Structure 1
Amino acid sequence: MRLVKDKQVVVAADFAGFPLKEYVKRHLEKKGWEVTDLTPDKESSPMYHRAGFMVGAQIAEREFEKGLLFCGSGMGIHVAASKCPHVHSAVAESVEAARRAATANNCNVLAMGAFWAGPRLGAGMADAFLENSLGDGYEDWDGFYEYHKLGYDETEQFDYEAYKANGFEVVNPGTVELGPEPARVSF
């Protein structure tokens, strides 16, 4: 698996997200990242959902730890990537949301919308997402890591049929006590 700690990431875009992807790719490469671009040519870029499937498959097959996706809104491409097993995708429209996708939700794919995310914002969101991991920055919030790790694990192992058979309740839910929110936490 190509890991973030080794500065490895996979990216893809449809036609609408292509210019933002190109800017973010150049930004990451200048910072020493090896960027595997599944859509190197705008004219042959697939429809948004197919680009989402492409990166999602790379995550599902454990080829890459994290990926970045770009389309007009970030929404459709993110939904498509999420159809692949083991993909936990997020859409971000701010640096804070991109960081939180990594630190609280342990997402492995981040989607951005080029219709409203400018190049520098896209680069900032990529940095925040790729440079953070589950629990980072919340070390003084008792139970934060455990709380969000439980959420990730229950999502990763979710079985809809078992959930349905259990009266739409999580089967054998775990418990974690989340301590009081520290005064300095911002969202």
Structure 2
Amino acid sequence: MKIAIGADHGGVELKAEVEKYLESQGHEYRDFGAFSTAAVDYPDIAVQVAEAVKNGEADRGILICGTGIGMSITANKVPGIRCALLSDVYSAKCTRDHNDANVMAMGARVIGPGLALEIVDAYLNKDFSNGERHVNRLKKIAEIEKKYNK
């Protein structure tokens, strides 16, 4: 699987841990930064990851900042992106199963690396259920997106 990954300065260290995991699992990834703990603006990175997923350059995206909140808000501004802010394994499975989330966000100051890797594993290894009720709900979300992105 091709993964677009990015973090701001608050998530750069956890991003390195996630990248090691991705390599160990045989995933390809493209790192959109940050590459140090020097302050950067999270919207600049989040939009690049979201656009890579939207444009088909990546199958899924992973975003990490201090809380994950800013990254998820930004990614969800890109049409076609469904970014879930995750801090537990159950939600990681459900967001794939029910919401077909194509980007996930985490907070490096909220969860530790052990849990973060479990969340990434659950997110990457769960497929969308394609259940009729879930498909219908995603269609409704897409219609709302169209209405407000004229």
Question: Hey, what does 1:178 align to over in structure 2?
Answer: none
Question: Hey, what does 2:127 align to over in structure 1?
Answer: 133
Cα offset, 1:152, TM superposition: 1.0
SS class of match (2:115): helix
Mapped to 2, the partners of 1:23 and 1:65 lie a distance apart of: 20
- Answering whether residue 144 of structure 2 is matched by residue 150 of structure 1, we say no
Measured against aligned partners, the alpha-carbon deviations of 1:98-137 in whole angstroms (never above 9, x if no partner) come to 11111111100000000111101111111111111111xx
Percent identity over paired residues: 28
Assess if the C-alpha contact under 8 Å between 2:95 and 2:101 holds in 1: yes
Question: Hey, what does 2:99 align to over in structure 1?
Answer: 105
Cα offset, 1:44, TM superposition: 6.1
TM-score with structure 1 setting the length? 0.74
TM-score with structure 2 setting the length? 0.91
Structure with higher helix content: 2
Question: Hey, what does 1:28 align to over in structure 2?
Answer: 22
Assess if the C-alpha contact under 8 Å between 1:93 and 1:112 holds in 2: yes
| 4+ runs deviating over 4 angstroms | none
Please report the RMSD computed on the Cα atoms of aligned residues, expressed in angstroms: 1.6
Q: How many residues align?
A: 147
Measured against aligned partners, the alpha-carbon deviations of 1:53-101 in whole angstroms (never above 9, x if no partner) come to 1111112222212100000001110000111111011000001111111
Distance 1:49 1:40, change over 3 A: closer
- Answering whether residue 3 of structure 2 is matched by residue 9 of structure 1, we say yes
- Answering whether residue 50 of structure 2 is matched by residue 56 of structure 1, we say yes
Question: Hey, what does 2:78 align to over in structure 1?
Answer: 84
- Answering whether residue 114 of structure 2 is matched by residue 120 of structure 1, we say yes
For structure 1, the 5+ residue unaligned runs are 1-6, 136-143, 162-187
Task: Please tell me whether Structure 1 or Structure 2 has the larger radius of gyration of its CA atoms.
Answer: 1
For structure 2, the 5+ residue unaligned runs are none
